[in-house]
Structure formats: C-alpha cells, structure tokens
Amino acid sequence: MSSRLIVLGDLLLIALCAFGAFVLRLDWFFEDYRNAFVFYLVTALAVKPPVFLLFGLYRRYWQYASIRELQMVVLSVSAAAVVLSAVVVGGLWLGAVPAMPRSVPFIDWLLTLCCIGGARLSARVITESRARDLKGAGAVTGTRRVLVVGAGDAGAMVVREMQRNPQLGKNPVGFLDDDPAKSGK
C-alpha cells in the first residue's frame, strides 16, 4: 500500500477520532462547542500527520510489523497528542481558542491510538491470513521439513519467517539447541 493512501487513511481516522472525542465527552450535544470542535479538528489535522511523518510511520512496511513498530505507533501518537494539547492549552491561555472540555485531548489520544495502531495491525493480520490461505490451498508443493538450529530469539524469528512465506517451501518441524533448559519447549 502506498504512503499516500496511508496518509489519506490517517487523515480520515484523525478526523473521526476528533469527532468521536467530542461526541463521547459531550454526548452528541456539542452545538455550544462547535467553534471549539472546528478549531480542534483543523489543529489535529495540521499537527498529527507531520508528527507521524517525523516518527517514520509512513516509511514502514506494516505487513511485516512487529512489537517495535507498535511501540513506535504508541510513541508517535503520544507525541502528537502532547503537541496538540500544547497548542490547544496555549490557545486557551491566550484566549484565541474557544473553551472546550479538558478531557477531549485525552479521549482523542485514546481513540487515535486505537485507530492508527489498529489500522497498521490489520495490515499485518491480513498479510498473515493470506499467507495461511495460500499454504492451506496447497499453493506450494514439495515443501521440505526443516530442523532449525538454535531455539532462541533468532531461531523463533526464522520459524516465523518460514510460516509467513509458504513460497519458501520450508516446513519447520523442530529446534536443535545445546541449552538443556530449552529441551521440550
């Protein structure tokens, strides 16, 4: 998926999260906060994508994402929330921003974290389910049974790669390791 599509998807999710934060906080009745919502929405759309870009969220292959990438999502969404909150608080302090509930940025942070992280995690889930479907459909014939030397992190990573890519034609059947503590695991 191209970065442009990811950015467009993020813009949509950012707008939905900002709207959701106001709806959750004010229970659909936020006519009195309409100006605050418009300001918050425009500010969120202006602040969050550049922060995400700065943290490298648009340079990653999300179908191969791991815990490290998920940590980067948490860090970037949190940094964007801090910057957005600083802009909102600064605007409130200067009187340039209409009053809004103080819980809106926190609710927006939670929603953004779930939506942005969930969108990226779904790319990984879809990729893995397609690989399983290909493997189950018999797309790869003549797989070779493989014994992996090393039952530590590197060995587990090799097995995951074999399982994700059935076109390799490898079927891991066990580990070989000199550490007796790993025996039978």
- Residue range 88-134, pLDDT digits in tens: 888 888 878 778 888 899 999 999 999 998 888 887 788 777 766 65
Q: What is the DSSP string of 11-68?
A: HHHHHHHHHHHHHHHHTT--GGGHHHHHHHHHHHHHHHHHHHHHTTTTSS-GGG--HH
**Helix/strand/coil for 91:** helix
**Exposed e or buried b per residue across 24-61, where buried means at least 16 C-beta atoms within 10 angstroms of its C-beta:** ebbeeebeebeebbebbbebbeebbbebbeebebbebe
Reported pTM: 0.68
Q: CB under 8 Å to 169, separation ≥6 — which residues?
A: 140, 142, 143, 144
* Residue labelled with tokens 């605050």: 36
- Residue range 35-92, pLDDT digits in tens: 889 999 999 999 999 999 999 888 776 666 677 888 889 999 999 999 999 998 888 8
CA distance readout (Å), 133 to 137, 152, 165: 6, 28, 11
Q: Is the pLDDT of residue 139 over 60?
A: no
The larger pLDDT score, comparing residue 122 to residue 165, is at: 122
80 neighbors 20 (Cβ within 8 angstroms): no
Helix 153-164, helix 104-136: angle, nearest 10: 70
